[in-house]
Amino acid sequence: MPIASVAERVVETRDPAATRALAGRLAKAAAPGDLVALIGELGAGKTQFAKGFGAGLGVTATINSPSFVLMAEYRGRLPLFHLDLYRLGETEEALGGGLLDDRQAEGVTVVEWAERLGPALPDDRLEVLIEGSGDEPRRIAVRASGPRSGRYLEALGEPAG
């Protein structure tokens, strides 16, 4: 079956642990140079996803939102670069691309508020769109935009049912 046949999967998670578990499964597919774009409103669960993704990469340190820096680096099976661009003001958005540099080629980069990178986002990226807030279940759409990110959908296996 052609790998490219699946470009999106939608998963519903009922609690933060389920969101972290989904991210952990996806992380098994991570390869050097990948970028995972997390998109969702305040409190959607982007950081929960990043925590689970890190756990799946074997990161043992606690992953929190980087408060005073735009990027934090963690050691795992691959280096994990966690960016949170919430504080990147609208007028500075063009500068966001400068946060992506050669170092990230060796690891996997997970970006909260990734839409703020605009055209600096690589064409082939895994997009994770999280909808829902509060105690509601989250609808998480995992979308691959090329062969590199397509591996993540393969890692999820066949849809249930």
Ligand X SMILES: Nc1ncnc2c1ncn2[C@@H]1O[C@H](COP(=O)(O)OP(=O)(O)OP(=O)(O)O)[C@@H](O)[C@H]1O
The smaller minimum CB distance to Mg ion, of residues 1 and 42, is found at 42
Which of 20, 46, 143, 148 forms a contact with Mg ion (CB under 5 A)? 46
The smaller minimum CB distance to Mg ion, of residues 34 and 84, is found at 84
- Angstrom distance (rounded) from CA 6 to CA 142: 10
Q: Is 149 in the site for Mg ion (CB under 5 A)?
A: no
- Angstrom distance (rounded) from CA 140 to CA 157: 16
The smaller minimum CB distance to ligand X, of residues 14 and 28, is found at 14
Q: In this chain, which stretch among 7-15, 87-95, 98-106, 118-126 interacts with ligand X, using CB under 6 A?
A: 7-15
Which of 27, 80, 85, 112 forms a contact with ligand X (CB under 6 A)? 112
Which of 26, 47, 59, 100 forms a contact with ligand X (CB under 6 A)? 47
DSSP string, the chain: --GGG--EEEEEESSHHHHHHHHHHHHTT--TT-EEEEE--TTSSHHHHHHHHHHHTT--SPP---SSSSEEEE-SSS-EEEEE-TTS-GGGGGGGGGG--GGGGGSEEEEETGGGGGGGS-SS-EEEEEE--TTSPEEEEEEE-SHHHHHHHHHH-SPP-
Residue with nearest beta carbon to ligand X: 45
Q: In this chain, which stretch among 72-80, 94-102, 105-113, 120-128 interacts with Mg ion, using CB under 5 A?
A: 105-113
Q: Is 48 in the site for ligand X (CB under 6 A)?
A: yes
Q: Is 135 in the site for ligand X (CB under 6 A)?
A: yes
Contact 31, 63 (CB under 8 A): no
Interacting positions 62-81 with ligand X (CB under 6 A): 65
Q: Under the rule (CB under 6 A), what is the footprint of ligand X? A: 13-16, 18-19, 40, 42-48, 65, 86, 112, 135, 137-138
